[in-house]
Chains A and B, each alone.
Chain A
Amino acid sequence: MTQVKARSAPQAASAQAGDTLVEIRNLEKHFPLSGDFLEQLRFKGGRLVRRQEFVHAINGVDIDVRRGESLCVVGESGCGKSTVARMVMGLLRPSGGEIRYDGERIDHLSPRQLLPYRRRMQMIFQNPYASLNPRMTIQQTLEEPLRFHHPDWKTPQVRDKVAEVMDSVGIDPEWGKRFGHEFSGGQRQRIAIARALAVDPEFIVADEPISALDVSIQAQVLNLLMDAQETHHLTYLFITHDLAVVEHFGTRVVVMYLGRVCEVAETHTLFSTPRHPYTQALLSAIPRLEDDRPDYIRLEGEVPTPVNLPSGCVFHGRCPHANDRCRREVPELIAAEGTRVACHGVEEGRL
């Protein structure tokens, strides 16, 4: 039961590839760091100066999510993966750039205008211990979205639908009268998945949905997500930092570093031939049994602060191949042998 299913490669590849469902263009998000107006005033050289500081969480991110795929976004803590997910879902407003869903721009819509999209895109959260309302029974939690989005449905219809989704995630519909805290972490996450599936979405953003779970439960939930994808024809934007999960789950991978995309590639391409120096370092950190792998690439220093971004390539301070151009010029995502890489070294053929 706990074994992860192998993703059948032809099925994943044939899922109507090419058609873009979500298009993220040049997305930016800054969080103000310096408080309100009065706190921004500083006394400098005998004059009052207004100084504003920002955390540059996302700095120009381009991502395409194709219909039917599981796009995994990986990167270390603080690289902005979750921020991207929250902006796609409209929980945060972007500071710049565009998000298009099925061709329509959605990033500037009001909550009321977003309502039709709420049924089409749903989210699964990281912490199943916080994502269920502790004062509501499971039945209430699952019924509320249905009654809200289908005001014309009668009670028996709502009940049937709730029983159906509970059944589909492996939760006994008899347990509906219980509260969230009476369940284990894995069961809660199943319920959270059921809540997302209840409104029949086509696109699901999963923000580290298995990181808070016990290792023995992770595989079950992962399998559940893959089954749901097959039966409901879902598209996933899957945020994670677990590369083993990416290898099994993802059809394509986006690697992020300090609010920028380093590399986008098909999963097997990325894992067999990583191009970006950061991706190479990241993959070399996976413990392997084989001995013929290249040695672990040790990165010097720390991730720079997102308050004062480094000039040029965000990775240049830790990159063993950085040259003057990397320090000056911000690299664009360029196509390179089946992948897209933001690296001057790859563009120049040095790497």
Chain B
Amino acid sequence: MTTTTQASPVPSRWARFRDSYLVYSFKRDLVAQVCLATFVAMVLAAVLAPWLAPMNPYDLAQIDIMASELPPFWIDGSDPTYVLGTDAQGRDLLSTILYGARVSLIIGFGAVILQAMLGVTFGLLAGYLGGRVDAFLMRLADIQLSFSTLMVAIIVGAVIKASFGGAIYSEYAVIILVLIIGLAEWPQYARTVRASVLAERSKEYVDAARVMGFRAKRIMFRHILPNTLSPIFVISTVQIANAIISEAALSFLGLGMPETQPSLGSLIKSGFDYLQSGSWWITLIPGAVLVVLVLVINLLGDWLRDVMNPRLYKG
């Protein structure tokens, strides 16, 4: 009885991870590898923007208005200092995209962290406590879901902008956008988490924890939550892409990041006015970066969902 398991040594956490199905499937999926590499490269480039970028687009002293609307290097009339050309204000497009991607990613991750905290807490409460708490929180989620995210964001953004003025709005734009997008999308998390909690709650290890006398908070966060992490992980990837898109859409509508500290969305918008006059690169290059960023995140999310789907693989 005891001989079989005694022989093999206890594997370390790293060895466990290395031998997991996740890593196994990653090693065999070229799309996932390319996507992860692209994603990591983009995140690194954005995080290291102050060191990588040739100039600082927030620093007005470095901007030369005479060098505005210069084309990228492969078109005649370009200036070799500005590899990807310049925008209408004479900012180096490469630097602005790097800084803009940083803003977009900060807002995307920030909003998703906020959504996850709200959604996971509400989902755990609704699923574990059940009854009236469940009914109340889920109706709240239903009401919230019946409004489109963008509509809520536009209304809230417009109200804040009107009541505090554009200057304050610009100053706190990142925080306001994180709050708006974060608050608008928590029901996605709450519903997913609630569904998994309902499945986990009926398992005997939860009863065992209750018999031990552990309090509801401990059972919810220490026992049930770790067992619902896979679906949370999967929707997080999709939600980051969604949040980045939402931010870009809001910025495009003029309710997002101001011109002085542009995100990818506001960069696209600022170039939009010059699209017809021939300076297409101001819009299209940040647009392509946004598309690639969102695409790799979504493809990674798809891959994760396939790998972590218990119906395809039971771990």
Contacts and interface: CB of A to CB of B under 8 A. Distances in A.
Contacts of B205: 130-134
Contact of B2 (A125, A148, A172): A172
A177 B9 CA distance: 10
A41 interface: no
Contacts of A119: 213
A199 interface: yes
Contact of B213 (A125, A149, A178): A149
A306 interface: no
At the interface, is chain B mostly helix, strand, loop or mixed? helix
B221 interface: no
B27 interface: no
B213 A111 contact: yes
Contact of A91 (B10, B211, B226): B211
A256 interface: no
Interface size class of A (residues with CB under 8 A): 35 or more
B61 interface: no
Interface in A101-118: 111, 114-115, 118
Interface residues of B, number: 20
B76 interface: no
Nearest to A89: B211
B225 to A, nearest CB: 9
Contacts of A133: 205, 209, 223, 226-227
A136 B6 CA distance: 20
B85 to A, nearest CB: 51
B76 to A, nearest CB: 61
A172 B6 contact: yes
A169 B209 CA distance: 20
A135 B207 contact: no
Nearest to B202: A130
Kindly name the residue among A130, A149, A187 whose own CB sees the greatest number of chain B CB atoms within 10 A. Answer: A130
A135 B226 contact: yes
A14 B128 CA distance: 45
Given A114-B213, A125-B208, A170-B2, 14 more contacts: A90-B210, A91-B207, A111-B215, A119-B213, A130-B204, A131-B207, A132-B208, A134-B205, A135-B226, A148-B212, A174-B10, A178-B10, A183-B5, A199-B212
28 contacts: A86-B207, A91-B210, A91-B211, A111-B213, A118-B212, A119-B213, A122-B211, A125-B208, A126-B204, A127-B204, A130-B203, A131-B207, A131-B208, A133-B205, A133-B209, A134-B227, A135-B226, A135-B227, A136-B226, A144-B214, A145-B212, A149-B212, A172-B2, A175-B5, A175-B10, A182-B5, A192-B208, A195-B208
Interface of A: 1, 86, 89-91, 111, 114-115, 118-119, 122-123, 125-127, 130-136, 144-145, 148-149, 170, 172, 174-175, 177-178, 182-183, 186-187, 192, 195, 199, 220
